[in-house]
């Protein structure tokens, strides 16, 4: 069985959003393999050896679209309905915490339409 590198959230724990800045531009870490699955995707971080389950295809679409937007917030606004926004901010913060997504360093290139 896969080794579990992190504990499941303890009852009563609040999701860590510290360190995640929705106004910054993010991308899928190049050190992460993302494997599409019926439930969403399986992400594996080759440096930390952490296995992360993305349990929503919408979340996978968002992660893949991150680098195309000037900020994580813009990517969320573009990908999901407003009422689900906060859930996706929390999910992205969790993915940033585990290193699956990371701040994008290169400037966003404007592609002609």
Residues near another protein (CB under 8 A) are 1-8, 10-11, 33, 35, 37-40, 42, 44, 46, 49-56, 58-59, 84, 87-88, 90-91, 94-95, 98
Nearer Cβ to another protein (66/95): 95
CB of 59 to another protein, least distance (A): 6
CB of 58 to another protein, least distance (A): 7
Nearer Cβ to another protein (49/103): 49
Nearer Cβ to another protein (15/103): 15
Nearest to 99 by CA among 26, 39, 37, 40: 26
What is residue 17's three-state secondary structure? coil
CB of 88 to another protein, least distance (A): 5
What is residue 24's three-state secondary structure? coil
CB of 110 to another protein, least distance (A): 29
User: In this structure, are residues 72 and 24 in contact, taking their beta carbons and an 8 Å threshold?
Assistant: yes
Work out the angle between the directed axes of helices 57-65 and 72-79 (0-180°, nearest 10): 130
Nearest to 17 by CA among 86, 69, 64: 86
């Amino acid at each position: 069985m896969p080794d579990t590198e992190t504990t499941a959230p303890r009852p009563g724990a609040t999701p860590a959003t510290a360190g995640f800045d929705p106004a910054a531009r993010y991308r899928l870490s190049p050190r992460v393999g993302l494997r599409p699955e019926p439930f969403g995707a399986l992400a594996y971080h080759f440096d930390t050896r952490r296995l992360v389950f993305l349990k929503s295809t919408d979340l996978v679409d968002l992660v893949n679209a991150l680098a195309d937007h000037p900020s994580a917030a813009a990517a969320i606004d573009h990908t999901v309905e407003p009422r689900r926004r906060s859930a996706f901010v929390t999910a992205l913060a969790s993915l940033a915490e585990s290193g699956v997504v990371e701040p994008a360093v290169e400037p966003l290139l404007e592609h002609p339409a």
